[in-house]
């Protein structure tokens, strides 16, 4: 059991966001998993990716006062969205198609105990309990932009583990070319799954190169708290350079396969939602432009960035394909 009572701190209000708050909440997060004080874990945090706060938490001796340069922003300097915004405007069709209703409907979702089966074209198939995911793997803070295909976006301070490290544990075979993800099927808890129109369970997929990329994480929390139900408790994918629908929630299966897997959205509307789904301002959705977006909490619109602003890190993955054909 993950001891929820260890999370005594209340979510940080947007008016109170400071580096110290994020830092404290991160300490709280690690403490709850019993890994605080394990210097080796903390030192393994990647300093380059996401928040600079991560690198400053290199040891348990780090003072509570943060250097001037550490801000609760993404690497482009944009502030993180408030906890309230991130947890009250959600796409999670298993609960509702109304973004403002998901939080209420998902409130009592029981996500413990939880297991994730990692199998398929691997040497060592394994089933990981949530506790294993939290304790065996470094939980890093990653402040990422999330760009929904519907043309709104947020900046979210995730906590999570590297998907590459998890896959390393099961030892993919060289024949594994894609990774397939599946959300839990639980119509008793998820009213949306009683609606026949959608081909449940929600499924997603990545190429093996995308899955192994250092930006790709399995997120286990946000704002230093375990993942709220509406954001995909207890563990969901986050692939920040792709449209939000690729970041599948409440994962129970991760399968290594040698074929391009079906995804829920490409099954429903293949001409609108492709397998790649890279954020691309030059490739419009058939029914609307993708050139700009509405950042939640901001007036007006901002320009959408190629690969959601992560081109330097990921563009090389797509050197050999035409992004118009492979949308
Ligand atoms: N299982 C599942 N995962 C899902 C969805 C969903 O409906 N079901 N919606 C996706 C979409 S469209 C987006 S934009 C993001 C939203 O994540 P958030 O609610 O944490 O912001 O989750 C994605 N993951
Ligand atoms: Mo989305």
**Probe residue for ligand 1, chosen from 92, 109, 187, 243 as the CB with the greatest number of ligand atoms within 8 Å:** 92
Ligand 1 close to Cβ of residue 213 (< 6 A): no
pLDDT at 257: 99
Whose C-alpha lies nearest to ligand 1, atom 20? 231
In this predicted structure, what is the pLDDT of residue 193?
98
Map out the domains of the chain as residue ranges. 4-318
Percent of the chain exceeding pLDDT 90 equals 78
Mind listing the pLDDT tens digit for each residue in 79-135? 999 999 999 999 999 999 999 999 999 999 999 999 999 999 999 999 999 999 999
243 CA from centroid of ligand 2 (Å):
6
3-class DSSP assignment, residue 315? helix
Determine the distance from the C-alpha atom of residue 62 to the mean position of all C-alpha atoms in its chain, rounded to a whole number. 27
**What's the predicted TM-score (pTM) here?**
0.84
Please report which confidence band the pLDDT of residue 60 belongs to, taking 50, 70 and 90 as the band edges: very low
- Is 202 touching ligand 1 by the criterion CB < 6 Å? yes
Residue 76 CA to residue 61 CA, distance in Å, equals 29
| pLDDT tens profile 78-90 | 999 999 999 999 9
Report the separation in Å between the CA atom of 279 and the middle of ligand 2, taken as the mean of its atom positions: 11
Report cis status (omega within 30 of 0) of the bond before 113. yes
Burial of 158 (0-12, 13-18, 19+ CB in 10 A): buried
**263: Cβ below 6 Å to ligand 1?**
no
| Model confidence pLDDT, tens digit, residues 26-52 | 656 655 555 444 433 333 333 333 343
Check if the beta carbon of residue 326 is closer than 8 Å to that of residue 276: yes
Note the residue count of the chain. 327
CATH topology (fold) of 4-318:
Sulfite Oxidase; Chain A, domain 2 (3.90.420)
b/e sequence 172-209, b meaning 16+ C-beta within 10 Å: beeebbbbbbbbbebeebbebbeeeebebbbbbbbbbe
Mean pLDDT, rounded, of the chain:
86
The bound ligand whose nearest atom lies closest to the alpha carbon of 85 is 1
What is the pairing mode between strands 236-238 and 126-129? unpaired
* Banded model confidence at residue 167, pLDDT cuts 50, 70, 90: very high
pLDDT at position 29, please? 64
Structure-token pair, residue 112: 């413990």
**Contact between 95 and 233 (Cβ < 8 Å):** no
**Is residue 94 within 6 Å of ligand 1 at its C-beta?**
yes
User: How many Å from the N-terminal Cα to the C-terminal Cα in the chain?
Assistant: 41
Which residue's C-alpha comes closest to atom 15 of ligand 1?
244
Residues whose CB is less than 8 angstroms from the CB of residue 199 and which lie 6 or more positions away in sequence, other chains included: 264, 267, 268
**Ligand 1 in reach of 248 Cβ (< 6 A):** yes
């Amino acid at each position: 059991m993950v001891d929820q009572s260890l999370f005594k701190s209340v979510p940080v209000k947007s008016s109170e966001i400071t580096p110290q708050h994020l830092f404290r909440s991160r300490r709280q997060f690690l403490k709850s998993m019993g890994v605080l004080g394990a210097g080796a874990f903390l030192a393994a945090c990647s300093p380059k990716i996401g928040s600079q706060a991560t690198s400053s938490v290199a040891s348990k001796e780090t003072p509570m006062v943060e250097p001037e340069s550490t801000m609760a922003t993404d690497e482009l300097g944009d502030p993180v969205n408030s906890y309230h915004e991130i947890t009250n405007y959600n796409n999670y069709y298993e609960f509702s198609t109304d973004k403002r209703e998901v939080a209420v409907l998902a409130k009592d979702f029981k996500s413990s105990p939880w297991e994730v089966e990692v199998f398929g074209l691997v040497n060592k198939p394994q089933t990981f309990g949530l506790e294993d995911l939290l304790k065996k793997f470094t939980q890093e803070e990653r402040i990422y932009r999330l760009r929904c295909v519907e043309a709104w976006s947020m900046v979210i301070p995730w906590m999570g583990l590297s998907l590459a490290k998890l896959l390393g544990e099961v030892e993919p075979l060289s024949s594994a070319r894609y990774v397939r993800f599946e959300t839990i099927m639980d119509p008793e808890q998820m009213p949306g799954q009683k609606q026949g129109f959608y081909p449940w369970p929600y499924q997603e997929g990545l190429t093996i190169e995308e899955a192994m990329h250092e930006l790709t994480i399995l997120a286990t929390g946000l704002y230093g708290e375990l993942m709220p139900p509406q954001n995909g408790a207890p563990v969901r994918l986050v692939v920040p350079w792709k449209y939000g629908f690729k970041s599948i929630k409440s994962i129970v299966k991760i399968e290594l396969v040698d074929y391009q897997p079906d995804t829920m959205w490409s099954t429903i509307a293949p001409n609108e939602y492709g397998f790649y789904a890279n954020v691309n301002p030059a490739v419009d959705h058939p029914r609307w432009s993708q050139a700009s977006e509405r950042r939640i909490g901001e007036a007006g619109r901002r320009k959408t960035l190629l690969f959601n602003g992560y081109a330097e890190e990921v563009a090389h993955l797509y050197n050999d394909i035409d992004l118009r054909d492979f949308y």
